[in-house]
Amino acid sequence: MIKLVRVDHRLLHGQVAFSWTNGVGADCILVASDSVINDDVWKTTLKLGKPSGCKLVIKDMKNSIEAINSGVTDKYKLIIVVQSIAEAQELVNGCPSIQSINLGNTKEEGDTRALSKQIFVTPKEEEILRSFIDKGLEVEIRPLVDDKKILVKNVL
């Protein structure tokens, strides 16, 4: 069962590893990323940040989507973490079971604008977020599990 799908450019760190894992009762974290799968330094770093008692799986996007859709992940209380809104779109398009997206941290770059202190989006990413909302997905900004939920539809 998917407990959380989170966009966070840092992937696995204290907020995900402890706040969210404990807050949603997760026992498995899936890092879905085409770039991380071939980066041994990233993989080692992620493994070091994994909370004890929680399984960590790192897959490319295609294999992540296949695993979710096949039902093999259903036995876990799963947190799925992606690095970008574009990756979240790929996941949403491939997995009809995803009903909500949590925006945790995105980078401030060139043509981004702030939706919150930690969420910066490009015009293209705004379009993606609007498409999620149009599909009926809940899209929220919430860095920590105990923080107040801010619905993206109210800040776009």
30: left (phi over 0), alpha (psi -120 to 50) or beta: beta
**Would you write out the chain's pLDDT as a tens digit for each of its 156 residues?**
999 999 999 998 877 788 899 999 999 999 999 999 999 999 999 998 888 899 999 999 999 999 999 999 999 999 999 999 999 999 999 999 999 999 999 999 999 999 999 999 999 999 999 999 999 999 999 999 999 999 999 999
pTM exceeds cut of 0.85:
yes
Which CATH architecture does the domain made up of 2-154 adopt?
Answer: 3-Layer(aba) Sandwich (3.40)
